[in-house]
Amino acid sequence: MIYEPAEDSFLIQKEVKRLAKGRVLDMGAGSGILAETALKSKKVKSVLGVDIKKEAVEHCRNSIKSKKAKFMVSDLFTKVPKPKPGQLFDTIIFNPPYLPEQEGELWELKTNIAGGKHGYETISRFLSGVNEYLAPDGIILLLFSTITGKMQVDALISQHMMEFEQLNKMNISFEQLYVYRIRKTRFRKVLEKKGVAKIAPLGKGHRGLIFTGMWNRKKITIKVQRQDIDAKGTVDNEVVQLKRLNKHGIGPKLLFYGKDYFAYEYIGGDFIRQYFDRKDVKKSDVTAVLKAVFEQMYKMDHLGLNKEEMHHPVKHIIVGKGNRPVLLDFERCKPKTKPHNVTQFAQFVISGKLLPHLQRHNIKMNMLDMLNLARKYSERRTRENFDAILELLG
């Protein structure tokens, strides 16, 4: 069963006629209506039509006779050869199946109209692979429906370091159809030019977006300044602080950076509380990690830098290989006459946020003793007063 052109096909067809250029990839070619439309443009050099159904591909091959057109069977990008840098696609068209699946739906019908359990899964898979095929200044023409979930699609695009512009829309029955033009963001283009590949979303912080990628055959982490918040320059500040702290073995290794972004070594491991809850972790491992974090806090105190948020660093410490704790997130780090890194971390150690995790390892912490020693250290930040805090850990 080949998907017959309908309102969605005709809506995106208008934009294909207007904007298709260069090397074109028609993903989910179906009847071939969009491939054929692109071929009529003088700005189009070639068209590759792809469909999961052999029947659709054979139909396109038989009905579209052009030396500039080729068609192949593939489930999205799985069998599409990765083009060389100078042969990336300038235009990628996708009119996907975008409705939620219905129980008992036949495969033939499902692949025509259903985009997954919620409707957006096929678009998500498409966005995960499309950047390796899209030229730096290329465009994607994507159609979807309000039933797919506009907010979800918008979020998926942003998560893959891309930006969108709504070109057209249409009301039909109980839904609205949208056509987007999608491009790579400035950050993605800069990173790809540096040789970073396989860029994928990792997380979203209060001030930055976090991605992973491959660079020089190694996995890296990339942080990009969020553009949708009032706070500016926080990522650039983190670069300044990391350059200084790396000299003292603190923080992940900074690899390269630019305006509003930087890349650092990928730190695999567990956040500190999850690490303490692991069955293979011993009491001696726990105390060693706590002491290693305290030592880094002591160094920062004497460097005159305040990290901030160390009273609740549940997502700011990852314990990696060799039980090595690595501090993350220095966006708010700044010079201070009297930093309080050690005292803030001391508060965390005796708080209800961590004590239950320590008690699993039979580590008992005297709250009053810790508070008194932290107060004494705060008054005179000597090594002797600091060592007294470490001795409480055993």
What does the DSSP assignment read for 208-232? Answer: EEEEEEEETTEEEEEEEE-SSSS--
Strand partners, 73: 51
Considering the chain, what is the average pLDDT of its residues? 91
Residue range(s) of every CATH 3.40.50.150 domain in the chain: 7-184
Average pLDDT over residues 284-300: 97
Tokens for 311, please give them.
């009273």
Spatial separation of the C-alpha atoms in residues 184 and 160, rounded to whole Å: 9
Per-residue pLDDT band at 105 (split at 50, 70, 90):
very low
Tokens for 208, please give them.
């930055």
Contacts of 154 (CB under 8 A, 6+ apart): 164
Spatial separation of the C-alpha atoms in residues 93 and 122, rounded to whole Å: 14
Tell me: pLDDT of 131 over 80.
yes
The CATH architecture to which 189-265 belongs is 2-Layer Sandwich (3.30)
Contacts of 240 (CB under 8 A, 6+ apart): none
Spatial separation of the C-alpha atoms in residues 275 and 388, rounded to whole Å: 25
Residue range(s) of every CATH 3.30.200.20 domain in the chain: 189-265
Q: List pLDDT tens digits, range 190-200.
A: 999 999 999 99
pLDDT at 86: 87
Pure H helices in 5-120: 7-19, 33-39, 54-63, 107-113
Cα four-point dihedral sign 382, 383, 384, 388? positive
pLDDT at 55: 94
Half-sphere exposure of 211 (CA within 13 A, CB side): 27
pLDDT at 1: 67
> Was domain 7-184 assigned CATH 3.40.50.150?
yes
User: What is the β-pairing status of strands 44-51 and 69-73?
Assistant: parallel
Residue range(s) of every CATH 1.10.510 domain in the chain: 270-392
Q: List pLDDT tens digits, range 330-370.
A: 999 999 999 999 999 999 999 999 989 998 899 888 899 99
Tell me: pLDDT of 67 over 90.
yes
pLDDT at 246: 98
Residue type, 61: R
**Burial annotation 295-312 (CB, 10 A radius, 16+ → b, else e):** bbbbbbbebebbbbbbee
Q: List pLDDT tens digits, range 146-189.
A: 888 899 999 999 999 999 999 999 998 788 999 999 999 999 99
Of 371 and 5, more confident: 371
3-state secondary structure 91-137: EEEECCCCECCCCCCCHHHHHHHECCCCCCHHHHHHHHHHCCCEEEE
Strand partners, 224: 209, 261
The answer to whether 126 and 140 are in contact (CB under 8 A) is: no
Tell me: pLDDT of 96 over 80.
yes
> Tokens 């060592």 sit at which residue?
387
The answer to whether 50 and 74 are in contact (CB under 8 A) is: yes
Per-residue pLDDT band at 118 (split at 50, 70, 90):
low
Average pLDDT over residues 297-318: 95
pLDDT at 298: 98
- The DSSP letter of residue 280 is T
Tell me: pLDDT of 106 over 60.
no
Tokens for 253, please give them.
């290794």
Could you tell me what percent of the chain has a pLDDT over 70?
A: 94
Integer angstrom CA distances of residue 218 from 199, 207, 312, 324, 347: 12, 26, 31, 19, 37
pLDDT at 85: 82
CATH fold of the domain at 270-392: Transferase(Phosphotransferase); domain 1 (1.10.510)
The answer to whether 45 and 22 are in contact (CB under 8 A) is: yes
pLDDT at 115: 45
> Tokens 């983190």 sit at which residue?
238
Of 228 and 283, more confident: 283
pTM for this structure? 0.84
